[in-house]
Amino acid sequence: MKKLFFLLFIPLFFQGCFSYKNVNYDQISNHKKQKIIVETIYKENIKGKLISINQKQITLKKSGKLKMINREDIRFLSVRKFSVSKTAEVVVGGYVNSKKN
């Protein structure tokens, strides 16, 4: 039973360790295949993995399909970053909670 609990707990634990940071279009590196959220001027949020970026458009992979977005259509860009503070909160919170029980 404990093994099943840990198999279910580990993905949830690491999911809380990431946050999204707003960045400018020029700050995104084409060498890193990072996860990005794009909000378009049409209020559409597109979340996917970066495939390529150039001066005119960005290409993301979403659900196995390529999605190309023109630079003019982008309102906000957010890049997924590892958050040390969120990770520490989860670890400390889990430890404190386990001591209460």
Lowest-pLDDT range of 16-20, 52-56, 60-64: 16-20
Q: Model-level pTM? A: 0.65
What's residue 10's pLDDT?
62
Residue 29 pLDDT greater than 90, yes or no: no
Q: Report residue 15's pLDDT band, with 50, 70 and 90 as the boundaries.
A: low
Residue 101 pLDDT greater than 60, yes or no: no
Q: Which two tokens stand for residue 82?
A: 């590892």
Which residues, including other chains, have CB under 8 Å from residue 80's CB and lie 6 or more apart? 18, 19, 20, 34, 35, 36, 37
CATH class of 22-91: mainly beta
Long-range contacts of 51-57 (CB under 8 A, 24+ apart): 53/25, 53/28, 54/30
Instruction: Name the residue ranges covered by the structural domains of the chain.
Output: 22-91
